[in-house]
Amino acid sequence: MAEPVRTDVLVIGSGPGGAVTGLLCAEAGRSVLMMEDGPDLPVDSAPPFSLQEIAQKYRGGGIGVAFGPAKLAYVEGRCVGGGSEVNRGLYHRAPASLLDRWHRDFQVRDLSPEVMAAHFEACEAIARVEYLPGEAPGISTRLRDGAEALGWAAVEARRLYCYGGESAGKQSMSRTFVPRFRAAGGELRAGLRAVRLARSGNGWQVEAVQQADGQASRPVSIRADTVFVACGAVQTPALLRRSGMRRNIGSSLRFHPMLKMVAEFPEEVNKPGDLDPVHQVKQFEPDVGMGCSVSTPSTLALALNADAEAQARIASCWRRMGMYYVQSTGGQAKVRNLPFFRDPLVTFQFDRADRARLVQGLKDLGRALFAAGAVRVYPAVAGCPAVTSQRELDDLSDAIVRQEGSLSSVHVFSSCPMGEDEERCATDSYGRVRGAEGLHIADASLLCTPTSVNPQGTVMAIARRNVLHLLDAGVGRGHRAQPSRVRELVE
């Protein structure tokens, strides 16, 4: 075997948490290696949400399943930039009430809205967060209009998106933080998968496998003073548990469980070339949220794949259709490894009260769409026919949640919560794994509970807060470190 790769700081994963962490460590003068399990591809290597993009950039071809009485399908990015490359980039700061709850219930230090504001602002400046210029697409404004007709609160969300100029387009990590990381002297290796890690002297040794198309995988050993694990809320606990660390790791995984609905309107609301929808209903948060989804003919057909009649209507009427979702904060999951299997097992519990809350949210979503002028709505649940009145919608039972393929999620977090409550937290307030000096978590695993809003902004801000705290304390300081630069970053 070749000599081990040596670095001051190793970042495992290049999604929002890993990219922010790696950039700040590199700009502070550390030698930093960022490794990514998936390929290094430009954000526009495939059409968004196409089969080609799913094959290129999603883990497992876009198929992740949490098993239980109600199965839940979830997705993970697997490429440089992680989930930021495959999501729509809708952006929110964590609500002040949520930060206060984490401080109170999990004893997380330095998490006040005042403290976090500077971290949100700094990340937003690099990530390019913008509102849609002009009027939103019809499927988006219809949700807004329906909510307003019912007296419900609705907002337009910002996106990690540049709407004009040379940088126009989606502002994922591969277009923002990662290029800046490389410019600061950081090294990124794609196709390098961490298998396990172990304490070695005063640092850590990570056993990994380098993967390349058409070539045999080869083992790689990496030694680092400091390791940040940022593989995502499923893969991070799986890696740590493979490495013998289990206390409060992988036992509190959470999702935003989601049901979808397609609405058909009497006129066109969905035109070729429309930008992504941006409106969300906030009336029922933090328990239930609503919003619009990408509504191409292929995504509409996928959502209603079990309804032959709806499929026929999509072919001729898709410009009059839009897809919407309702999501909750209910349910809890676990991540466990199985002998001889590469991917972990995720199990999911969703009780009767969770189901009832989500189905009531689906009924309320239908009410908003009818108020906006929909002539029929199609619950994206096998066996549910088209609905043409609120009365028919109100007859839906919470048993539909148990239907195969009905539940899904694109937000995954909370598998290794941070905080000073040692009975429930895997790390301290700044992401250091308990009992493992020099080992830190830097992704959505740290979020103590579901965020109720899109979590990417919160992941980036907390990663920035944590790494600046650690750098100021001298973490990862090798022979190339420049301590004076850390103070500049903090200020």
Q: Residue 10 pLDDT > 90, yes or no?
A: yes
Q: Are 379 and 358 in contact (CB under 8 A)?
A: no
> What does DSSP say about strands 254-255 and 64-67: parallel, antiparallel, or unpaired?
unpaired
Tell me if residue 119 is catalytic: no
pLDDT tens profile 420-469: 999 999 999 999 999 999 999 999 999 999 999 999 999 999 999 999 99
pLDDT of 14 above 80 = yes
Residue 247 CA to residue 319 CA, distance in Å, equals 51
- Average pLDDT of 154-181? 94
Kindly report the number of other CB atoms within 10 A of residue 169's CB atom: 14
- Report d(CA 418, CA 415) in Å as an integer: 10
Phi, psi of 439 (to 5 degrees): -115, 125
Whether 81 and 43 have beta carbons less than 8 Å apart is answered as yes
Q: Which of 22-31, 44-53, 81-90, 447-456 has the lowest mean pLDDT?
A: 44-53
pLDDT tens figures, 256-265: 999 999 999 9
The arithmetic mean of pLDDT across residues 96-119, rounded, is: 97
Question: In the chain, how many H helices and how many E strands?
Answer: 13, 24
Q: What is the signed CA dihedral for 43, 46, 47, 49, rounded to 10 degrees?
A: -80
* pLDDT value at residue 309: 85
Angle, helix 138-149 to helix 352-371, in steps of 10 degrees:
100
Gap between the Cα atoms of 371 and 377, Å rounded: 12
C-alpha–C-alpha distance, residues 234 and 438, integer Å = 21
Report percent pLDDT > 70 for the chain: 96
- Angle 60-64-70 from CA coordinates, rounded to 5°: 160
DSSP strand pairing (64-67 vs 345-349): parallel
Please report the pLDDT score of residue 382 as a whole number. Answer: 86
Question: Can you list the domains of the chain with their CATH numbers?
Answer: 1-40+79-128+171-251+413-490 (3.50.50.60), 55-76+133-170+257-409 (3.30.410)
Give residue for tokens 């990381």: 181
Question: Do residues 102 and 433 touch, judged by C-beta distance below 8 A?
Answer: no
Whether residue 286 is preceded by a cis peptide bond, meaning omega within 30 degrees of 0, is yes
Q: Please, are residues 200 and 92 in contact by the beta-carbon 8 Å criterion?
A: no
CA 47 vs CA 43, 54, 170: distances in Å: 9, 10, 12
What's the rounded Cα separation, in Å, for the pair 407 and 467? 35
Q: Which pLDDT does position 485 carry in this prediction? A: 42
Mean pLDDT in residue range 102-122:
97
Q: How confident is the model at residue 476 (pLDDT cuts 50, 70, 90)?
A: low
pLDDT-based confidence at residue 214 (cuts at 50, 70, 90): low
pLDDT at 374: 97
pTM for the structure as a whole: 0.93
Q: Is 57 helix (H, G, I), strand (E, B) or coil?
A: helix
**Mean pLDDT of the 157-173 span:** 92
Average pLDDT over residues 132-142: 95
Q: Return mean pLDDT, the chain.
A: 93
Name the active-site residue from 411, 440, 469, 479. 411
Q: What is the mean pLDDT of residues 25-46?
A: 96
SS3 431: coil
